[in-house]
Amino acid sequence: MIMTVEKNIIKDIPSVKFCSVTEHHVGQRVDNFLMRELKGVPKTRIYRALRKGEVRVNKGRVKADYRVQEGDLIRIPPIRVQQDAAEVPINKKLGENLQHRILYEDTGLIVINKPSGLAVHGGSGLNYGLIEAMRQMRPQAKYLELVHRLDRDTSGCTMIAKKANVLKQIHIKLRGDGVDKRYIAMVEGKWPKHCTRVEAPLAKNTLQSGERMVRVQAGGKASVTEFRIIKKFNSCTLVEAKPITGRTHQIRVHAKHAGHPILGDEKYGTKEANKEARRRGLKRLFLHAKSLSLNYPEDLLFNIESPLDTGLSNLLDILGK
């Protein structure tokens, strides 16, 4: 009996798997590639495998943000996949809402006004995010990949590539200054006229609770955000933010560093200002990706704007009165 049990256990242990990247996945982050290959495996386990070097690309270690290339040979370690982890169907109302929020679509690109509260992808306890929802809505689509990310609580313009060459083309622009992204935010207090540029290095930190925070820290990654005042109110200011670099939580942390956190920011804001904003009806972070501008396709100027959600526009009306 004991020998039989041992044999069954050994048989159930997964083996090392090797995957070759095809043209359909060129430009995808390796962590997202692994999530698709290892459905049912917790996101934390995938990141641990990357950190420990269990995952190899062309026999070498890579970080989670590595973009896979055609022909890359990816070694996937023996991680047990939960076989009964069925795909969770998206809520019908969410699907209808997302369809209504599509701002632009052609054969290679979708631009959608992502709602606040929806992560761009699933993981860390989330059954699905924007990209998984879109794949369920478009089961016939051979290729759908996020071009860039937005914080879960941030709304606005988000690009999804329908072709690998479009993803690669826009990523090249994102690495330089080929994409102009503008956000609007309502910040605490009166933003000073002279503060048009915040340049402060950012570093990620993980608290004992497991919560990830970003702080201004010497030795962190160089980070720059430009700010412009749109309108001043008695206790807050509507500003436009243009991120020159693209760090996690960059606008939120730079606003706090300038002494004017964004209203509704439970992570970096102040309790008093957030409480007053809630009293006035604000139930979310007041940060919205309002526009994208780039040359697409090829040398044609592409510019698109995303309208404010009702929760944000209502607060503007209240403050205006």
State the CATH number of the domain containing residue 131.
3.30.2350.10
pLDDT for 56 equals: 93
Shared domain check, 283 and 225: yes
d(CA 237, CA 191): 6
Beta bridge partners of 186: 238
Q: Is 194 left (phi over 0), alpha (psi -120 to 50) or beta?
A: alpha
Decide if 1 is inside a domain. Answer: no
- List C-alpha distances in Å: 217 to 133, 201, 212, 234: 36, 6, 15, 32
Among residues 31, 72, 151, 153, which one is catalytic?
Answer: 151
Judging by DSSP bridges, how do beta strands 155-161 and 287-295 pair with one another?
parallel
Could you say which DSSP state residue 261 is in? P
Residue ranges in 13-69 assigned as alpha helix (H):
30-37, 43-51
- The answer to whether residue 306 is domain-embedded is yes
Do 305 and 236 sit in the same domain of this protein? yes
Domain that holds residue 45: 14-76
Q: Which stretches of the chain drop beneath a pLDDT of 50?
A: 1-12, 83-85
Residue 131 belongs to some domain of the structure: yes
Whether residue 307 sits in one domain with residue 195: yes
Q: Does 130 fall in a domain?
A: yes
- Per-residue pLDDT at 2: 41
Determine whether 151 is an active site residue: yes
Count up the domains in the chain and report the number: 3
The domain boundary, picked from 132, 164, 196, lies at 164
169 is a domain residue: no
Question: Is 218 within the bounds of a domain?
Answer: yes
6 belongs to a structural domain: no
| Domain presence at residue 87 | no
CB burial of 261-298 (b: ≥16 within 10 Å; e: otherwise) equals bbbbbebbbeeebbeebeeeebebbbbbbbbbebebee
Is the domain of 131 the same as that of 257?
Answer: no
Note the pTM of the prediction, 2 decimals: 0.79
pLDDT of 36: 78
Taking the C-alpha atoms of residue 230 and residue 17, their distance in angstroms, rounded to an integer, is 54
Q: Which residue bears the tokens 């730079």?
A: 254
Per-residue pLDDT at 124 = 57
CA pair distance 298, 308, nearest whole angstrom: 29
